[in-house]
Every structure is written in structure tokens, then in C-alpha cells.
Amino acid sequence: MNKFAYVIVILAALAINVAAQKKPAATTDPTKGVRQAFDRLIDGIKQVDAEKVSASYEKSDRLLVFNNNGSATGGWENIKSNVESSYAKVSNVTIDVTGVRVEMLSKTAAYVSCKWKQTQENDGKLESASGRMTLVYKLIGKDWKIVHRHTSPDNPGPTRPVFPSERTEQ
């Protein structure tokens, strides 16, 4: 009986030692997929790749984009058409995004907000703009897709309808 108790004590000590050495399972970052989808969008913009940019959005008539110029565009087909026609004239794009923040709203919904500064040649003329952007993402199948985008310029033009109290001194 003594040998049996000794074996049990040894086995218990080994089991405790093995259990103590096991590392907890690594938790996955729930924002990782959303950030990767956002990075693909930014890469598409830098590459002036209309297909890559269009693929970042949900193919739906419900898609809604509030544009930097104050207009709104609805529906994936319209977004795709606008991107294709504008990218035909664009080259030498640089875009810097800062302050990127990814917030999960649920397991299947998130938003990304950031500041951006972009320069490009449009029809041979140098352009630059900057502002803030919020993108709402939805998990569709296994892919994170943009279902809504809101872009605001840092310095709206003097004819833009902005409250006088919201204008910055220039």
C-alpha cells in the first residue's frame, strides 16, 4: 500500500507541474481582421487600383458614402463607377493615415476612424487634401466590408455650408 501511495503522490506532483507549465491559450485580437481590411483599402488607394478599392465595399444598394466634397453617393455600382472614372485621371498618389482607431461594436460590426492627408496628380495637376474619415465595417461571410463611409475635409471651402462658429481662422 505504501508503494501505491508513493506512486500516486509522484503522479499528482507531475500533473501539477505539467499544468503549471502550460501557457494560457493566446487570445486573438478581434480588431485584426478589420484593420487588415482597412489596410487593403489604403493600399488600393496608394496603388490607384480601382478594383482593389471597390472590393473593399459591400456590394449592396444600401452602401452609403458621405464624400469629402459634401455630396453623398449610394450603392456599390455607383461607388465603383465613380472610383473607376476618377482613377482613370489619377496618378502618383500618396496617402498618410494617422490616429487609426478600430472599435468593435459587436462580433460582426466595427468602425475605423482616422486622420488622412493625400496628394495626387489629377489630370496632370497636383492636388492635396486632408481630413478625417470614419468607416463602418460589417463582417460578411469571412470578409470585413465597408457598409458606410463618412469623410470630412480639414478646411472646407468658404462656400461650404458650415456654421460660422465651426469655422477655423485662416
Give the pLDDT confidence score for residue 103 in this predicted structure: 98
The average confidence (pLDDT) of the chain is 86
Residues 66-104, buried b or exposed e (16+ Cβ, 10 A)?
bebeeeebebbeebbeebeeebeebeebeeebeeeebee
Thinking of the domain 29-154, which architecture would CATH place it in?
Roll (3.10)
Instruction: Look at strands 64-66 and 143-153 and give their pairing.
Output: parallel
Q: How confident is the model at residue 145 (pLDDT cuts 50, 70, 90)?
A: very high
The reply to whether the predicted model has a pTM over 0.85 is no
Give the pLDDT confidence score for residue 15 in this predicted structure: 57
Is residue 124 scored above 60 in pLDDT? yes
Residue type, 1: M
Q: Where are the domains of the chain?
A: 29-154
3-35 residue pLDDT tens = 655 556 555 555 566 555 655 555 688 899 999
